[in-house]
C-alpha cells in the first residue's frame, strides 16, 4: 500500500470511527433510560447526526477525502473523483471504524443499556429499522435519501465555499435528509454506519439485547449503494 493510500485509509477509519461515536451516541442519549436527554426526540437525533458528520469530516479531512460512507466512495469512483483502486481499502477502513465506534458507544453507555429493558430500543442505538416493515418501501426510502446525499456532495464540490464551510454544509444536508426523509427507515444512507454497529451489536455482551435483525440488515446496505450509483450517474449527465 503506497503512502498516500495508507494516509487516506487512516483518515477514513478515523472519520467513520468519530461518526459512529457521535451519531450512535446521540441515539443512545435519546432512547436509553435514565440518560439526562432521554426522550428528547427526533430533532435531537437529526441535529446530532448532522453534527456528527460535520465533526467527522473536520477531524479526518486532512488525511483523506473523508467519504466516511461506502455509498459516497462508490459514487465518487463512478463520477471519476476517486481511483477505483482506493474503493475497497476505503470501505474496509470505514467498516472497521464503524465497528470500533459502536464498541466505544456501548462502553460509554453500559449502565444505561442495563437500565433499558426493551431489546428493540437497545438495537436502535446501533442500527436502523423501519417504522412500518415494508421492505420495498424501505429500500426505496434508502435509495432516495442516499441519492440526495451523494448528489449533494458531488454538487457541493463544484461550488465555492469559504474555508472550512464544506463539512458544515454537508452536515446541514444530513439534518435536512433526516428531518424530511428519515422518519420512515431511520435514514441509514450509509452502509458502514448501519452494518458496522450491527456487527458490534451481534458480538458485544450488551445487556437486554435481542437479535440483530439480520433479515432487514441488507436494506440499509443495498439501498444506499444503489442511491450512490444513481446520484453519480445523474451528476455525470450534467455538463
pLDDT tens figures, 180-223 = 999 999 999 999 999 999 999 999 999 999 999 999 999 999 99
158-164 LR contacts (CB < 8 Å, sep 24+): 164/58
Taking the alpha carbons at both ends of the chain, their separation in whole angstroms is 35
Q: What is the pTM of this model?
A: 0.96
pLDDT confidence bin for 158, thresholds 50/70/90: confident
Alpha helix (H) residue ranges in the chain: 3-31, 42-60, 70-78, 87-108, 110-114, 119-126, 135-156, 166-181, 191-203, 219-236
pLDDT at 36 over 80: yes
As a whole number of angstroms, the distance between CA 55 and CA 131 comes to: 28
pLDDT confidence bin for 59, thresholds 50/70/90: very high
pLDDT for residue 159: 79
As a whole number of angstroms, the distance between CA 123 and CA 178 comes to: 19
pLDDT confidence bin for 163, thresholds 50/70/90: low
Amino acid at each position: 500500500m503506497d503512502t498516500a493510500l495508507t494516509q487516506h485509509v487512516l483518515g477514513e477509519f478515523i472519520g467513520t470511527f468519530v461518526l459512529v461515536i457521535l451519531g450512535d451516541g446521540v441515539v443512545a442519549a435519546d432512547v436509553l433510560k435514565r440518560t439526562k436527554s432521554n426522550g428528547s426526540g427526533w430533532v435531537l437525533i437529526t441535529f446530532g447526526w448532522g453534527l456528527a458528520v460535520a465533526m467527522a469530516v473536520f477531524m479526518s479531512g486532512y488525511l483523506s477525502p473523508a467519504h466516511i460512507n461506502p455509498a459516497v466512495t462508490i459514487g465518487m469512483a463512478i463520477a471519476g473523483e476517486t481511483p477505483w483502486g482506493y474503493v475497497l481499502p476505503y470501505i474496509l477502513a470505514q467498516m472497521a471504524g464503524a465497528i470500533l465506534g459502536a464498541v466505544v458507544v456501548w462502553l460509554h453507555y453500559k449502565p444505561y443499556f442495563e437500565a433499558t429493558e426493551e431489546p428493540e430500543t437497545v438495537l436502535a442505538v446501533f442500527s436502523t429499522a423501519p417504522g412500518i416493515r415494508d421492505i420495498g418501501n424501505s429500500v426505496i426510502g434508502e435509495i432516495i435519501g442516499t441519492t440526495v446525499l451523494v448528489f449533494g456532495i458531488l454538487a457541493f464540490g463544484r461550488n465555492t465555499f469559504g474555508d472550512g464551510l464544506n463539512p458544515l454544509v454537508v452536515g446541514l444536508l444530513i439534518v435536512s435528509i433526516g428531518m424530511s426523509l428519515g422518519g420512515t427507515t431511520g435514514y441509514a444512507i450509509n452502509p458502514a454506519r448501519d452494518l458496522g454497529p450491527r456487527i458490534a451489536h451481534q458480538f458485544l455482551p450488551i445487556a437486554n439485547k435481542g437479535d440483530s435483525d439480520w433479515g432487514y440488515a441488507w436494506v440499509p446496505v443495498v439501498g444506499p449503494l444503489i442511491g450512490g450509483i444513481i446520484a453519480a450517474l445523474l451528476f455525470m449527465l450534467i455538463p
